[in-house]
Amino acid sequence: MRVLLIEDDPLTIKSLKNALSSRGIVCDDVKLGQEGIETAKLYNYSAIILDLMLSDLDGYQVLLRLRAAKVKVPVIILSGLATSDHITKGLNLGADDYLTKPFNIDELVARLYSIVRRTKSNVHNSLKVADLVINFDNKTIECGNARDTLTDKESQILHLLITRRGTVLAKDIVIKHIYPSYTKQDKANPKNVDVFICKLRGKLKKISGREDENFYIETIWGRGYMFKDHKINQPGLKMNFGDEENADEFNIGLNESELEAPYIEQIKEKA
């Protein structure tokens, strides 16, 4: 499991990272809320641990912007704000759990595994994008009547690229995704990514019949790879991701109250 910690207190960061590492959980940390949002949009984390009292944005703003940017990674709020109002607000704005400080590390780990299990059980692991149908459970890709199978690593890379399509992903991001315990000190060979991408392109070209091997996955020289945001209208094919706005488009011209509005409406409907 790899988690993102958004926390600005050095002592909390150090103690949490050491405790999680000793339990086999890789923990990346950022100190600013905006940095946490950008990092969460790029990397495929199992969960996010979020403090509410950050120096640039409060945790509620971070949570709202994560959800507005379509980041569906489960979030645990870890905060010294322990009133019922604080907890209720955090959960209503999209947090999956709320743990107050001081806390027991074993309880935090148990909650992490619990929300990850719940999230995975609710995921329908089949995507339809452009003219492709990808089943990540069976590791198959289809285009029309043509079909091929994927290896584990090919499936992981394709999932990462598709769920962040239109975004350039550097090789180290891909490496960190397919090797969850990877750290900056490790010496994973970036050329492995090139090999996997080459094989993926070959399979996509084969089943689609397209001559352009860069039609789906484009190389952005010096930066990384990007799954192109094609919107191909094909009868009977539902575009799971085609209508989603990206985060920048969603946030242009919106203030915090406007971002919060959809969640407030949901709360009113439930009342």
CATH code, domain with 195: 1.10.10.10
Answer whether residue 235 shows pLDDT above 90. no
Domain boundary residue, one of 81, 103, 122: 122
Sheet with 75-79, strands from edge to edge, namely: 26-30, 2-6, 47-50, 75-79, 97-100
**Are residue 116 and residue 40 in the same domain, yes or no?**
yes
Bridge partners (DSSP) listed for residue 4: 28, 48
Q: Could you list the residue range(s) of the whole structural domain that residue 9 is in?
A: 2-122
pTM for this structure? 0.63
**Are residue 115 and residue 162 in the same domain, yes or no?**
no
**Are residue 86 and residue 139 in the same domain, yes or no?**
no
Can you give the pLDDT at residue 44? Answer: 81
Task: Give the integer Cα–Cα distance in Å for 31 and 50.
Answer: 10
Six-digit token pair at 200?
């993926």
Can you give the pLDDT at residue 121? Answer: 62
User: Taking residues 180-194, what's their average pLDDT?
Assistant: 69
**Are residue 113 and residue 219 in the same domain, yes or no?**
no
Q: What is the mean pLDDT of the chain?
A: 82
User: Taking residues 178-188, what's their average pLDDT?
Assistant: 64
**Are residue 158 and residue 180 in the same domain, yes or no?**
yes
**Are residue 103 and residue 145 in the same domain, yes or no?**
no
Answer whether residue 241 shows pLDDT above 50. no
Q: What is the 3-state secondary structure (H, E, C) of 220-262?
A: ECCCEEEECCCCCCCCCCCCCCCCCCCHHHHHCCCCHHHHHHH
pLDDT band at 69 (very low <50, low <70, confident <90, very high): confident
Bridge partners (DSSP) listed for residue 3: 27, 47
Of 46-55, 85-94, 131-140, the least confident:
131-140
User: Taking residues 213-240, what's their average pLDDT?
Assistant: 72
Q: How many domains does the chain have?
A: 2
Residue 146 falls inside a structural domain:
yes
Six-digit token pair at 18?
């050491």
**Are residue 71 and residue 155 in the same domain, yes or no?**
no
In whole angstroms, how far apart are CA 77 and each of 36, 54, 160, 163, 266? 13, 12, 25, 24, 20
